Amino acid sequence: MTPEARVEVAPLGTTLPVRPPVSMAMPMGDMIPYVTDTPDITIPANLLPADGRFGSGPSKVRPEAVAALAGAASRYLGTSHRQQTVKSVVGSLRSGLRDLFSLPGDYEVMLGNGGTTCFWDAATFGLIETKSQHLSFGEFSSKFAKAAADAPHLSDPDIVTSEAGTHPDAVARDDVDLYALTHNETSTGVMMPVTRPAGAAPPDQGGGLVAVDATSGAGGLRVDPSQFDVYYFAPQKCFGSDGGLWVALLSPAAQERIARIGASGRWVPAFLDLAIALDNSKLDQTYNTPALATLFLFDDQVRWMNEQGGMAFSTGRCDRSAELLYSWAEASSFATPFVTRPADRSRVVGTIDFDPSIDATVVAKVLRANGIVDTEPYRKLGRNQLRIAMFPTIDPEDVAALCGCINHVVGALG
């Protein structure tokens, strides 16, 4: 019997019967697929991580940050974002990011609503002058490339691709005015160094800007501000907050580009206008109403990172988690790191392939049933693997515990 055939439509006015507990609903020989494909395996409590959130975004939010938000709620939530209470959080966030990334004094911290996906559209209007080059090596990096290709006011972009599980390198070209890099390709678990393309002129001598999608890398991977002009991200990954906001760290050359395009007469929807966003950011506000809880959690996380030792602390935690995860997989008889080159293996999002004899989907479901969530792989990659976030918030001890839990589940699946 298919699951659909079981659906009964209750006549109006009747109360739907409560479904009996799974154990009662599942007599042998009358298996229901959506119940039976999660084997009943209980992971011993002493193996479980303290926190079971390993999703690559939205990702674990520190309970201390949530408690701080609850404590501040009656003075902060539901108050005007044009008044000092909220503006001081935005101001603290902007200066905290400046410290965390050791930004030179002439760099700016810009923010706006809509998340990274919105920033791609804004960039096609306000950062790309005529032609961009995109390193396309997974779902996220390909999306910005598509946004640029679809923009009628731009020339066709130059798209450099490589196999899933690897990254291409930028190629200096005279006709390219923006190089689009991705610090960490979240769909495949590949990281790449942020460096200006070999042989490219610096932007103040006519070379292209370097714009980096660091949505999942920012705060967890090391970066040198002299190597980028735009480093943009959203707070729901390493910054343990919620989605819906974008942030961009801007070099002087990027600020000039925004001003020049802003004055050029190009039509730009106001919501996507980076000149407007930059003006508002300098006043510690956003063009339209932001999510106040998101801003608070984001600021709390940046403060936490800075207090604990800044980028050395946050990247160090990711390094340790990655060392634990990949060394476990390399020693395992059934798991292997998906990314072949160790230098390309992301320290913030790990992808682990499973032997064909083990169905990783089932492993993820058993983990989920035991409170360990969001280890499923990126769907479109279509591999028999788990994807595990190792953002700074995630305790390396919990990554080690997760490896132990996977061993237990695979053993129990026999």
Ligand X SMILES: *Cc1c(COP(=O)(O)O)cnc(C)c1O
Query: Contact positions toward ligand X, by CB under 6 A?
Result: 57, 115-117, 140, 182, 186, 213, 215-216, 234, 243
Taking CA atoms, 75 is separated from 68, 69, 70, in Å, by 12, 10, 10
Q: What is the DSSP string of 143-183?
A: HHHHHHHH-TTSPPPEEEE--TTS-------TT-SEEEEES
124: its two tokens: 């096609």
In the complex with ligand X, the residue whose CB is nearer, 213 or 299, is 213
Complex with ligand X: residue 215 or 301, whichever CB lies closer: 215
Min CB(218)–ligand X separation in Å: 10
Decide whether 387 or 408 has the Cβ nearer to ligand X: 387
Q: How far is the CB of 159 from ligand X (least distance, A)?
A: 16
Q: State in angstroms the smallest separation of the CB of 391 from ligand X.
A: 11
CB nearer to ligand X: give 128 or 406: 128
11: Cβ contacts below 8 Å, ≥ 6 apart: none
Listed residue (192, 141, 144, 128) closest to 166, CA to CA: 192
* Rounded least distance, CB 263 to ligand X, Å: 28
Quick one: 86 or 190, whose CB is closer to ligand X?
190
Alpha carbon distance 108, 105 (integer Å): 8
Nearer to ligand X by C-beta: 122 or 200?
122
For residue 329, the minimal CB distance to ligand X (Å) is: 21
Which of 55, 3, 62, 27 shows the shortest CA–CA distance to 367? 55
Side chain identity, residue 172: A
Contact 87, 81 (CB under 8 A): yes
Q: Which is nearer to ligand X, 41 or 274 (CB)?
A: 274
Residue of this chain nearest to ligand X (CB atom): 115
CB of 57 to ligand X, least distance (A): 5
The answer to whether the beta carbons of residues 195 and 322 sit under 8 Å apart is no
DSSP, residue by residue, 27-85: -TT---HHHHTS---PPPGGGS-SS-B--SSS----HHHHHHHHHHHHHHTTS-TTSHH
Q: Which is nearer to ligand X, 51 or 139 (CB)?
A: 139
CA 26: distance to chain centroid?
Answer: 39
Single out the residue of 339, 405, 414, 356 nearest to residue 138, CA to CA.
339
Whether 388 contacts 400, CB under 8 Å: no
Taking the complex as a whole, the smallest distance from the CB of residue 56 to ligand X amounts, in Å, to 7
User: In the structure encoding, which two tokens stand for residue 246, read together?
Assistant: 């974008």
What torsion, rounded to 10 degrees, do the Cα atoms 43, 45, 46, 48 define? 70
Compute the least distance from the CB of residue 318 to ligand X, in Å.
14
Smallest distance, Å, CB 105 to ligand X?
28
Shortest distance, position 401 Cβ to ligand X, whole Å: 25
For ligand X, the closer CB: 113 or 227: 113
Query: Counting beta carbons within 10 angstroms of the beta carbon of residue 295, is it exposed (0 to 12), middle (13 to 18) or buried (19 or more)?
Result: buried
Phi, psi values for residue 179, rounded to 5°: -100, 120
Complex with ligand X: residue 49 or 55, whichever CB lies closer = 55
Paired with 74 in beta bridges are none
